[in-house]
């Protein structure tokens, strides 16, 4: 019975394209795969090889989706960095966070849960990232994008209901869209409907897109795959778990940086919480060499 439940939980996590409940199960894939591995190993010891090897085969197949292959190519010329951070709406002392972001000297900063209490973070970063765009969000706090490179005039816009703020910036490699996203919690909450409305907005953006934020969803999910396809972008690496789900024993990677599809990943590393309940992500990428 336990084996069947664990196997169903693992398999169900691949059903996000059929029903959003599949992606809700996918959030816990690391734990359901580990549970199935333990149960299958126990059955192997108890000399039930058929069901044990079936479970271990499923563990290997599902486990492969948790590993992201490295890009084989090297970037051509300049590299870019994005510091992604959910501030936490109640952040009171932003000085340590401001110091950490400043020390990384990234090209772009994307923020979520920006409120009156923590708006000082944006002000404290204005010297290096003077090009800033903030949007309210109907949920907790707003989203913001900050850039070292200048904004393309008239490009900035807000999608308040969707938790999206975006602007196009003029980089040395040409104009690039920079967007910050904060999604709702997964099914049975509002995430599926919000994503359905978000996809055509992302698809309308012309040119390369850098999209980062608190997705409240894991990178191997169908939801993230749809967002990648719409934005013509993909997740930069997998730096590790960014959020503790009520307990440090359940840690999930839900904060991501997506780079343009014609770019190669350099690195993606975790930054400390620094007063937030989310770890930051520092992602670096570069564009592919011209053919």
pLDDT, tens digit (0-9, with 9 covering 90-100), for 84-110 = 999 999 998 999 999 999 999 999 999
Question: Is pLDDT above 80 for 55?
Answer: yes
- Calculate the alpha carbon distances from 128 to 94, 178, 254 in Å: 16, 16, 27
Helix, strand, coil percentages in the chain from 3-state DSSP, rounded to 5: 30, 30, 40
C-alpha 149/C-alpha 209 separation (Å) is: 15
Question: CB-based contacts of 123: which residues, under 8 Å, 6+ apart?
Answer: none
Mean pLDDT of 48-68: 88
Matching residue, tokens 């110091």: 99
Per DSSP, the residues of 149-180 read SPBPTT--EEEGGGTEEEEEEEETTEEEEEEE
CA distances from 174 to 44, 52, 118, 150, 158 (A): 57, 54, 32, 11, 22
> Residues 162, 200, 144, 110: what is their CA dihedral angle, to the nearest 10 degrees?
120
The answer to whether residue 209 scores a pLDDT higher than 80 is: yes
In angstroms, rounded to a whole number, what is the distance separating the alpha carbons of residues 11 and 22? 9
The CATH homologous superfamily of the domain defined by 79-287: Endonuclease/exonuclease/phosphatase (3.60.10.10)
Which of the residue ranges 49-58, 141-150, 237-246, 280-289 has the most confident prediction, judged by mean pLDDT? 141-150
Q: Taking residues 209-223, what's their average pLDDT?
A: 98
Instruction: With cut-offs at 50, 70 and 90, classify the pLDDT of residue 253.
Output: very high
Mean pLDDT, range 124-130, rounded to an integer: 98
CA 108 – CA 283 distance, rounded (Å): 10
Is residue 125 classed as helix, strand or coil in its secondary structure?
Answer: coil
pLDDT reported for residue 254: 98
- pLDDT over 80 (residue 289): no
pLDDT at site 248: 85
141-117-282-104 Cα dihedral, nearest 10 degrees = 150
- Gap between the Cα atoms of 167 and 27, Å rounded: 30
**pLDDT tens for residues 135-180?**
999 878 999 999 999 999 999 999 999 999 999 999 999 999 999 9
CB burial readout 14-51, b (16+ within 10 A) else e: bbbeeebbbbbbbbbbbebbebbbebbeebeeeeeeeb
* Residue 77 confidence class, pLDDT cut points 50, 70, 90: confident
Q: Which of 278, 186, 249 is nearest to 31 (CA)?
A: 249
**Of 201, 181, 172, 80, residue with least CA distance to 139:** 181
Structure tokens at 231: 């934005």
Whether the per-residue pLDDT at 291 is higher than 70: the answer is no
Minimum mean pLDDT range among 58-72, 93-107, 196-210, 275-289: 58-72
Report the C-alpha gap between 151 and 131 in whole angstroms. 6
């Amino acid at each position: 019975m336990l084996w069947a439940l664990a196997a169903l939980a693992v398999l169900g996590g691949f059903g996000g394209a059929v029903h959003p409940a599949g992606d809700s199960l996918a959030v816990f894939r690391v734990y359901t795969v580990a549970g199935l591995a333990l149960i299958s190993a126990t059955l192997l010891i108890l000399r039930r090889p058929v069901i044990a090897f079936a479970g271990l085969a499923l563990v290997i197949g599902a486990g492969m989706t948790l590993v992201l292959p490295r890009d084989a190519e090297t970037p051509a010329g300049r590299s870019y960095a994005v510091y992604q951070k959910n501030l936490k709406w109640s952040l009171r002392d932003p000085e340590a966070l401001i110091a950490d972001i400043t020390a990384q000297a990234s090209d772009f900063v994307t923020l979520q849960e920006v409120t009156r209490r923590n708006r000082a973070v944006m002000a404290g970063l204005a010297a290096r990232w003077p090009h800033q765009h903030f949007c309210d969000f109907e949920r907790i706090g707003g989203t913001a994008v900050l850039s070292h490179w200048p904004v393309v005039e008239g490009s900035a816009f807000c999608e308040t209901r969707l938790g999206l703020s975006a602007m196009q910036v003029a980089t040395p490699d040409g104009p690039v869209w920079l967007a910050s996203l904060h999604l709702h919690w997964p099914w049975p909450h509002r995430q599926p409907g919000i994503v359905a409305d978000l996809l055509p907005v992302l698809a309308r953006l012309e040119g390369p897109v850098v999209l980062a934020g608190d997705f409240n969803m894991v990178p191997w999910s169908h939801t993230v795959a749809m967002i990648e396809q719409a934005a013509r972008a993909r997740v930069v690496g997998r730096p590790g778990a960014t959020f503790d789900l009520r307990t440090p024993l359940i840690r999930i990677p839900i904060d991501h940086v997506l780079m343009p599809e014609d770019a190669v990943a350099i690195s993606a590393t975790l930054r400390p919480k620094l007063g937030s309940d989310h770890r930051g992500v520092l992602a670096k990428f570069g564009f592919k060499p011209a053919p």
